[in-house]
Amino acid sequence: MWLPMLGMTALPHLGGLVGGYITRQQVKTWYPTLKKPSWRPPNAAFPVVWTCLYTGMGYGSYLVWKELGGFTEDALVPLGLYGLQLALNWTWTPIFFGAHKLKLALMEIVLLTGTVAATMVSWYPINRTATLLMAPYLSWLCLATSLNYCIWRDNSEEKEE
């Protein structure tokens, strides 16, 4: 059972690595040109936070997978929602940092946050520990959604191109 646990725990990090590659240059060049609220976390916090969040959500998905006996019919909704939120998570970075589409990124992160909440609801009867492992992620997404909103609100459309 070590291989599925390691694989499922590592899976979210793949998108994080790609996202980190995409944002690396943009964080140095484009992102500093944007008006941001004073309460935003420092740039150095993001890789640390995302490493923890990706590890927690990945391990939580393993716990649900294990409890349901793998990719069974019963796993379709809880792991399907998890897969959807993971895809949405990975999509936000190219929209925001790659395409500079602040409004589209805001709409996408709202959808992501709702999908994470739905994932947690679907996981709760299966494995409460897995659900709790998603709680910091949902909290961070609420902060990130607020930050995305403020950046969109405070920056002109030219900054999005």
Q: Can you give the pLDDT at residue 53?
A: 98
pLDDT in tens, 90-115: 999 999 998 999 999 999 999 999 99
Who contacts 23 (Cβ-Cβ below 8 Å, separation ≥6)?
A: 31, 93, 97
Phi-psi region of 97 (alpha: psi -120 to 50; beta: other; left: phi over 0): alpha
pLDDT in tens, 28-45: 899 999 999 999 999 889
Helices marked H in 29-161 — which ranges? 45-67, 76-93, 102-123, 128-154
Q: Is residue 39 part of a domain?
A: no
User: Are 133 and 56 in contact, with CB atoms under 8 Å apart?
Assistant: yes
Who contacts 58 (Cβ-Cβ below 8 Å, separation ≥6)?
A: 8, 9, 10, 11, 12, 13
Q: Is residue 58 part of a domain?
A: yes
pTM above 0.85, yes or no: yes
Q: What is the CATH number of the domain that holds 62?
A: 1.20.1260.100
Separation of alpha carbons 122 and 64, rounded Å? 10
Q: Is residue 34 part of a domain?
A: no
Whether the pLDDT of residue 161 is over 60: the answer is no
Average pLDDT, the chain: 94
How confident is residue 129, by pLDDT bands cut at 50, 70 and 90? very high
Tally of CA atoms within 13 A in the half-sphere of 61 that contains its CB: 26
User: Which range has highest mean pLDDT (19-23, 27-31, 62-66)?
Assistant: 62-66
Q: How many domains does the chain have?
A: 1
Whether the pLDDT of residue 135 is over 60: the answer is yes
- 136: containing domain: 2-27+45-160
Q: Is residue 155 part of a domain?
A: yes
How confident is residue 160, by pLDDT bands cut at 50, 70 and 90? very low
Q: How far is CA 99 from the centre of its chain?
A: 18
Separation of alpha carbons 136 and 131, rounded Å? 10
Whether the pLDDT of residue 159 is over 70: the answer is no
